[in-house]
């Protein structure tokens, strides 16, 4: 009885859905605080690199706040009931305004310069700027930044999320880079014996050699195909689109035609459908089918994973040797009417479908 009389003063213990929701809210709050702390640290670092005195900036902000507060005290209403400053307002605040006049003018100049810069290019992370300049994809750009290969206004930057406005002197390996304005999209039907990279230190043939006369813009391949893998390969200088098409979260559909050294038996067919544990984790094909009813060594496989050599490793794990591997579809792109070793530009409809991530070529969840 004694305990019941104090129950109304005790905090009831949450259970079930309420308890889970409370835990979620705590996690969100912790993430928000960590994000805010990171933004503040990056802002301070940005100001320090550009020689901005934080104390002076805070003092100017306080002066502006005091000036607005002083003005608000002397507001009166006109005959229509609208707020208007009285005649005494300017007399009482004249001395304060004269002291802050120069500071306000400086602030206006700073704001106008900032607005002009932002109209040129919106503020963006450094790795995004590099990808939009046509050097490489966003993830590769982040790796280059961490290696110290990128400088901004002469300072070496090691943080991929470092904010830039586009008017800075950004250099990659000592060469200044600029954002690409003319976006190019090329579909290549890749042949064998070509490396999917912009340059090869060993001097081997690359896919860039196949399209060197296609455009003066610097383009790069989206994703990778093995040297002996053929088929659909997208080339572009659109870094944002390339990042979306290669990121695992978008689960872009890919279909391969696989020629094996022997027929695929039913047991292994079901194993690929149900999923297999490889050395780097579990992998499951979206669908598998025999491409030719009379030849069961010719298999079609649909998969969304972008792991390295995933299709070859999947069949090699089951004891098969892949003789030929041809990618027949990537996103909504096929090699129809494009001969091996040839290329074509994407049409407007294809580009629109890619940019808006049409669900017809993404993995169904």
- Return the active site residues: 226
How much of the chain is helix, strand and coil, in % rounded to 5?
40, 20, 35
* 232 within 8 A of 334, measured Cβ to Cβ: yes
Strand partners, 163: 125
The answer to whether 328 touches 335, Cβ cutoff 8 Å, is yes
For 180, the 3-state DSSP assignment is coil
> Cα dihedral sign for 138, 362, 251, 234?
negative
Cross-strand bridge partners of residue 327? 231, 256
* DSSP line for 101-141: HHHHHHHHHHHHHHHHHHHHS--EEHHHHHHHTTSS-HHHH
């Amino acid at each position: 009885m004694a305990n019941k009389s104090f129950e109304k003063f005790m905090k009831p213990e949450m259970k079930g859905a309420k308890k889970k929701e409370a835990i979620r809210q705590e996690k969100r709050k912790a993430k928000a605080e960590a994000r805010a702390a990171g933004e503040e640290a990056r802002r301070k670092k940005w100001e320090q690199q550009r020689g901005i005195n934080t104390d002076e900036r805070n003092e100017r902000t306080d002066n502006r706040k005091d000036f607005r507060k002083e003005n608000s005290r002397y507001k009166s209403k006109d005959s229509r009931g609208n707020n208007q400053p009285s005649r005494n307002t300017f007399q009482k605040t004249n001395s304060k305004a004269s002291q802050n006049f120069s500071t306000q003018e400086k602030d206006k100049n700073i704001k106008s310069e900032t607005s002009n810069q932002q109209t040129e290019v919106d503020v963006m992370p450094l790795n995004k700027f590099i990808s939009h300049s046509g050097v490489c994809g966003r993830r590769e750009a982040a790796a280059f930044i961490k290696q110290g290969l990128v400088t901004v206004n002469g300072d070496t930057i090691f943080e991929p999320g470092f904010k830039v406005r586009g008017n800075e002197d950004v250099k990659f390996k000592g060469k200044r880079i600029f954002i690409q304005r003319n976006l190019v999209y090329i579909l290549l039907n890749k042949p064998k014996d070509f490396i999917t990279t912009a340059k090869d230190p060993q001097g081997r043939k690359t896919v860039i050699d196949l399209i060197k006369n296609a455009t003066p813009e610097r383009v790069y391949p989206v994703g990778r195909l093995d040297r002996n893998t053929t088929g659909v390969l997208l080339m572009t200088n659109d870094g944002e689109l390339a990042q979306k098409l290669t990121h695992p979260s978008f689960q872009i559909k890919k279909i391969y035609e696989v020629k094996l050294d022997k027929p695929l038996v039913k047991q292994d067919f079901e194993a690929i459908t149900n999923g297999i544990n490889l050395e780097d984790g579990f992998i499951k094909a979206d669908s598998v089918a025999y491409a030719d009813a009379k030849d069961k060594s010719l298999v079609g496989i649909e998969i969304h994973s972008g792991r390295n050599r995933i299709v070859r490793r999947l069949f090699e794990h089951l004891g098969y040797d892949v003789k030929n591997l041809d990618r027949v579809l990537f996103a909504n792109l096929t090699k129809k009417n494009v001969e091996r070793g040839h290329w074509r530009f994407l049409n407007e409809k294809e580009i629109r479908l890619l940019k808006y991530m049409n669900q017809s070529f993404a993995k169904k969840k």
